[in-house]
Amino acid sequence: MAEFYIEVKPKVTGERLVHKSTCSALPPTESLAYLGAFGNVNAPINMSRNKYALVSGCPECIPSE
């Protein structure tokens, strides 16, 4: 299982990125919200879409959906 975070502040496009805790492009901790530990990458992304309209996986650490 991996731990996942979402960016608190959206990008200019309104999109928020979900990152694995081991991501090389992980923003500073103060700009992230912890989502939890999941066995696959789709679960934290789908969970985040219940709260935010535009959510994607980070292109550095999460393969394309």
Tokens of 43: 């679960």
Distance of CA 40 to the CA centre of its chain: 12
- Predicted TM-score (pTM) of the model is 0.92
Contacts of 21 (CB under 8 A, 6+ apart): 2, 3, 4, 5
At 4-51, the pLDDT tens digits run 999 999 999 999 999 999 999 999 999 999 999 999 999 999 999 999
Contacts of 2 (CB under 8 A, 6+ apart): 20, 21, 22, 37, 38, 41
